[in-house]
Amino acid sequence: MKYQSVVYPNGIIGRLDGPFNGHRHDAAILNLSRMREEMELEFQGNGWNYSLYGDPGYSNQKFIKVGYKNYRKLTQLERRFNRDMSALRVSVEYGFGKILQQFALVDFKKNQKLYQQRLKEQYFVAAMLVNCQACLKSNQISDYFNCAPPSLEKYLESV
CB atoms within 10 A of CB 16: 20
What backbone torsions phi and psi does residue 61 show, to the nearest 5 degrees?
-155, -175
Nearest to 68 by CA among 82, 57, 52: 82
What share of the chain has pLDDT > 70, as a percent? 91
Check whether 110 has a pLDDT greater than 70: no
Nearest to 11 by CA among 157, 144, 152, 156: 144
- 7's enclosing H/E stretch is strand 2-7
Angle at which helix 35-43 crosses helix 26-33, to 10 degrees, equals 50
Cβ within 8 Å of residue 9, ≥6 positions away:
141, 142, 145, 147
Nearest to 134 by CA among 111, 106, 159: 159
Cβ within 8 Å of residue 155, ≥6 positions away:
12, 131, 132, 135, 149
C-alpha span between 130 and 12 (Å, rounded): 8
The one-character DSSP state at 137 is S
The pLDDT value recorded for residue 115 is 62
pLDDT digits (tens, 9 = 90+) for 24-70: 888 888 889 998 888 888 777 677 777 888 877 788 888 888 888 88
Helices and strands (H, E) in the chain, number of each type: 6, 4
Full-model pTM: 0.80
pLDDT digits (tens, 9 = 90+) for 145-158: 899 999 999 999 99
Q: What is the DSSP code string of 11-50? A: S-EEEEEEEE-TTS-HHHHHHHHTHHHHHHHHHTTS----
